[in-house]
Amino acid sequence: MDDDVIGSVQAHLLHRAVHRAGLELGRWWWEYFCLGGEAGKVEADAYLHGCLRLPPRERDLLAHAVNGLLHHASVPPAPYSSDLHGPQDDVVARGRRSGPGRGTRA
């Protein structure tokens, strides 16, 4: 499985979780930073919107930070890189389930 595809799907699903939970950038980024995340606020936000690629470690730290903030929300958790390994068609289909025009981003 291509890491760019996994990263794009992971960013899309993270964006969906953040949006549905109504989390503000400063809140989820601070949690990520406290976990040892190395991307700045602008880079993390750019990744969330599909404008920047991040390595798996940073993507997983972002997912972990957001998931920690979702524990009281009825929002599906953001996936980790390992959750998205599998047949490419499955990964792409999971990323597109959120509605029209919301598929994977390059």
pLDDT at position 74, please?
Answer: 74
pLDDT at position 86, please?
Answer: 62
Domain that holds residue 70: 3-96
Asked if residue 51 is part of any domain, the answer here is yes
Q: 95 by DSSP, 3-state: which?
A: helix
Report how many domains make up the chain: 1
Asked if residue 104 is part of any domain, the answer here is no
Asked if residue 38 is part of any domain, the answer here is yes
> pLDDT digit of tens for each residue in the chain (106 aa)?
688 999 999 999 999 999 999 999 999 999 999 999 999 999 999 999 999 999 999 999 999 999 999 877 677 888 888 888 765 444 444 444 443 333 333 3
Asked if residue 47 is part of any domain, the answer here is yes
Asked if residue 63 is part of any domain, the answer here is yes
Q: How far apart are CA 77 and CA 70, in angstroms?
A: 7
